[in-house]
């Protein structure tokens, strides 16, 4: 207050100018601080959103089924074929004709389906190890270790931890303890029959388009033929009528 001078116009103007400068500096500092805080908050929100989206996808992959075989077979397709061959060579069936070795069993569609489930579970475990909590990372690392050592794994415990974490982050109410949720297992991939259907539909559409084009071309040629025939007929009729006219001379 001692620096304020209201005794003259010059002092009043200099005082107001000084106050304006100080106010602008304060507002600028405040805006800069707010911008920095907002950028950090947006970065944190993006990180939380990406983490939550990845963990939700992992939850759907690891706990997408309630029925059937809820374990994950870590065997590769070559392991399945080798085991089938060893089983066929080691086992035999006694029939009326004598002892017959069992034929070699080809895993086929079942082996391919187990392989796709294993690949999806491996990718989901990798995402959980990267972005999960301490408990989730521990459970995922244990499951990955069992898979590497060739032991079938179950993902129900990890699925429960993911479900509780996701609901807490989304501020959803806690699931009642009295609610008995069945054990969850990995998502079973869909069959590959949709591609053939789509290809068949595309072929049908192309065939229909070709048929329509051929029909249009045929119609055009027919119209041209009809026009030429009518023109020739009219010309010929006009010529004959002129020849038969009795008023014309020879």
Quick: pLDDT tens for 95-146. Answer: 444 544 444 445 556 667 888 899 999 999 999 999 999 999 999 999 999 9
197-235 per-residue burial string, b: 16 or more CB within 10 A, e: under 16: eeeeeeeeeeeeeeeeeeeeeeeeeeeeeeeeeeeeeee
161-181: per-residue pLDDT in tens? 999 999 999 999 988 888 889
What is the rounded CA–CA span in Å between residue 15 and residue 9? 10
182-213: per-residue pLDDT in tens? 999 999 887 654 444 444 444 444 444 444 44
28-68: per-residue pLDDT in tens? 999 999 999 999 999 999 999 999 999 999 999 999 999 88
């Amino acid at each position: 207050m001692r620096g304020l001078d209201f005794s003259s116009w010059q002092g009043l103007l200099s005082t107001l100018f000084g106050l304006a400068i100080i106010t602008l500096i304060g507002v600028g500092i405040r805006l800069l601080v707010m911008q920095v805080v907002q950028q950090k908050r947006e970065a944190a929100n993006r990180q939380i959103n990406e983490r939550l989206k990845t963990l939700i996808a992992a939850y759907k992959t690891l706990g997408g089924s309630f029925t059937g075989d809820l374990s994950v077979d870590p065997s590769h397709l070559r392991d399945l074929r080798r085991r089938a061959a060893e089983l066929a060579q080691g086992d035999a069936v006694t029939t009326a004709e004598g002892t017959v070795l069992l034929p070699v069993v080809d895993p086929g569609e079942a082996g391919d389906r187990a392989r796709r489930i294993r690949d999806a579970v491996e990718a989901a475990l990798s995402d959980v190890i990267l972005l999960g909590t301490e408990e989730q990372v521990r459970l995922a690392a244990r499951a990955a270790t069992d898979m590497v050592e060739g032991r079938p794994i179950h993902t129900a415990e990890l699925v429960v931890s993911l479900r509780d974490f996701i609901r807490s982050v989304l501020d959803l109410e806690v699931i009642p303890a009295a609610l008995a949720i069945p054990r969850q297992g990995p998502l079973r991939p869909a069959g590959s029959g949709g591609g053939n259907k789509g290809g068949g539909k595309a072929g049908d559409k192309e065939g229909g388009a070709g048929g329509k084009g051929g029909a249009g071309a045929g119609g055009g040629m027919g119209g041209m033929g009809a026009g030429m025939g009518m023109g020739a007929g009219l010309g010929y009729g006009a010529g004959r009528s002129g020849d038969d006219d009795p008023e014309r001379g020879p």
